[in-house]
Structure 1
């Protein structure tokens, strides 16, 4: 029972699919944290080098500070200029840099200061994991390894007066770090996941998974959004289908139409703007647009659905709202013709 609870404590409670969905956000946050930590390390070791030199500390301590400052500087240059920072590479870079800092703290606390308590190691082992978001189990193993390494160095180099004190601290504070960092990382993962989920729900239609009216209104106000075509689509007969076969049948119709649009246009630029109305934007001049429209009508007809569709092309001085309005007007003209030819139905 306790083993199961312990294993559960080190899980982030996300499915593999959810984990992959937030991986890019985690990567960006870790990248910024890594750059910040590298910069702070450079700043800290520069100050420590000056203080160490001014205080006439042993030259080996000054060299250690300067060495870490130079390595951190090179590391910062590398991660800043290397553009292919994948999620796994960022995680590897985090562990390499954290290992460098912890090894620095171990050397400083034991080999170079055998007669002083290991304050540097304790501070770094507690603070480092809080900078990043990683799987708790992996970070726990990382902390355990360096806690063991610290204990070995303590036995090898510490004076008798501080050995027991360092050994106790080398056990207690890594355990505290593991517990706190594991909990914080679980919270971070959940917060990132929930934030992205809420953002997705605020920008996407739950039924069709296309972008929703809220996203569409934001696009209309975006002066950097420059599509070549606007295609305005209305699903004919939705109300009648709802009344005749129920709302589940109507929902299936809307989802089917959404899949067609996502197939022929980029899903990121397809919107459900009303109950049975959709808008899609094209960002390239398509000389086969008429063929695409015919294919969309054909795909809808396979399910005995009918669409009214209008489109408009962007010109040099045309605003986005006008582009949409022209496509909508053309759609309504086609819709009127459809209902004129199907007098048994009412225009909706």
Structure 2
């Protein structure tokens, strides 16, 4: 019973997994919505223009108004999809459902003079809705029943009893195809999204320390280089004595040291702004913070690690919005200051700097 419930509600995934893939799902839905609304808008515009050119505007004026009005509606949907930000990406699915429903309603209106065309349109909509919206199966079933009811209501109003029976059983056949194929397709797509997300997370997260990976660091750095409306800051961290500890006690001891540094940084900073970019190097990419605040936090990290006998070299660089300095340049400044701090540590400790 639980398996059936999971399938109906989440396409075979757990609720947490289903919620986890919604952002990626909605991004693909937006692409689909942009394509559909653009194609439908252009198609209905062309129909209107052709009817005007062949002189049909006067004889089928209401039809042209439907074509033109539908083209405008799809154009508005296209613009709305473009304007939806990633933060509000969850609004895409209702728009996509509206696009499919609008197509069916317009088809019903236009088929008043041609009842035979509606059956084909209804059957096509049944199958298309199953593959376009990428809904949870229970929504797919609800959409299918709704489309069948609309098609049957139209048949009862405009069709003969003989054709009503034929259209009903044809509709049931296409509904079964839509449900079986749509459910299968949805389950496969959901699992593919989940697998892709897990793979991406494995690439974005450093396996040893649980902070951001080198590849995620470069991706985030590129994003922050484009931002100009916030204060920026970078902290470059190097773990002192890792090379010596590895030689003396083995790499397991060195790994424990790196994990401790990452955990200590995560106490003072959000873990999603910490990146391990080398064997013993960490970089923090920050915004909306002050230099004194960062100095205080780094000192807290030093104190915590010092109790375990671990020491770090740190360089801090900050810039206001007026400075027009990119995050990449701030990282370079922080790296330079970290090296100075590291040299000072080795001079005071009498140890040899393994970097030199």
Task: Classify the TM-score, shorter chain.
Answer: 0.7 to 0.9
| Aligned pair partner of 2:102 in 78, 100, 103 | 100
The Cα shift of 1:286 comes to 0.9
Task: Give 3-state SS (helix, strand or coil) of 2:212's partner.
Answer: coil
Query: Which residue is 2:13 aligned to?
Result: 14
Query: Which residue is 2:43 aligned to?
Result: 44
TM-aligned CA distance change 1:332 to 1:70, over 3 Å:
closer
TM-aligned CA distance change 1:93 to 1:272, over 3 Å:
same
The Cα shift of 1:14 comes to 2.9
Query: Which residue is 2:283 aligned to?
Result: 279
* Correspondences of 1:180-199 after superposition (within 5 Å): 180-199=181-200
TM-aligned CA distance change 1:141 to 1:217, over 3 Å:
closer
Task: Give 3-state SS (helix, strand or coil) of 1:118's partner.
Answer: helix
TM-aligned CA distance change 1:176 to 1:334, over 3 Å:
farther
Structure 1 window deviating more from structure 2 (314-323 vs 325-334): it is 314-323
CA-to-aligned-CA distance 1:32-71 (integer Å, 9 cap, x gap): 3222211211112223334556485755544433332233
CA contact (8 A) 2:115 2:158 kept: yes
Query: Which residue is 1:212 aligned to?
Result: 213
Query: Which residue is 1:34 aligned to?
Result: 33
CA contact (8 A) 2:123 2:174 kept: yes
CA-to-aligned-CA distance 1:44-101 (integer Å, 9 cap, x gap): 2223334556485755544433332233233334444465973443222222232222
TM-score (norm 1): 0.78
Partner Cα distance (1:218, 1:74) in 2? 33
Partner Cα distance (2:163, 2:105) in 1? 19
Structure 1 window deviating more from structure 2 (168-177 vs 70-79): it is 70-79
Query: Which residue is 2:154 aligned to?
Result: 153
Query: Which residue is 2:69 aligned to?
Result: 67
| Aligned pair partner of 1:232 in 233, 237, 249 | 237
TM-aligned CA distance change 1:52 to 1:223, over 3 Å:
closer
CA contact (8 A) 1:230 1:280 kept: yes
Partner Cα distance (2:177, 2:348) in 1? 71
The Cα shift of 1:234 comes to 0.3
Partner Cα distance (2:76, 2:278) in 1? 54
Partner Cα distance (1:19, 1:5) in 2? 15
Paired residues, number: 341
Residue segments in structure 1 that go unaligned for 5+ positions in a row: none
Query: Which residue is 2:170 aligned to?
Result: 169
TM-aligned CA distance change 1:64 to 1:205, over 3 Å:
same
Query: Which residue is 2:259 aligned to?
Result: 255
Partner Cα distance (1:64, 1:222) in 2? 44
| Aligned pair partner of 1:296 in 291, 297, 301 | 301
The Cα shift of 1:287 comes to 2.6
CA contact (8 A) 1:232 1:327 kept: no
TM-aligned CA distance change 1:51 to 1:153, over 3 Å:
same
CA contact (8 A) 1:242 1:250 kept: no
Query: Which residue is 2:312 aligned to?
Result: 308
Partner Cα distance (2:161, 2:87) in 1? 46
Query: Which residue is 1:323 aligned to?
Result: 333
CA contact (8 A) 1:234 1:276 kept: yes
Task: Give 3-state SS (helix, strand or coil) of 1:211's partner.
Answer: coil
The Cα shift of 1:145 comes to 1.4
CA-to-aligned-CA distance 1:256-294 (integer Å, 9 cap, x gap): 421322343443442223444323244555134332221
TM-aligned CA distance change 1:20 to 1:331, over 3 Å:
farther
Partner Cα distance (1:296, 1:191) in 2? 40
**Alignment RMSD, CA only?**
4.0
TM-aligned CA distance change 1:305 to 1:218, over 3 Å:
farther
TM-aligned CA distance change 1:159 to 1:52, over 3 Å:
farther
1:270 aligns with 2:280: no
CA contact (8 A) 2:206 2:276 kept: yes
TM-score (norm 2): 0.76
Residue segments in structure 2 that go unaligned for 5+ positions in a row: none
TM-aligned CA distance change 1:161 to 1:62, over 3 Å:
farther
TM-aligned CA distance change 1:281 to 1:50, over 3 Å:
closer
Structure 1 window deviating more from structure 2 (206-215 vs 316-325): it is 316-325
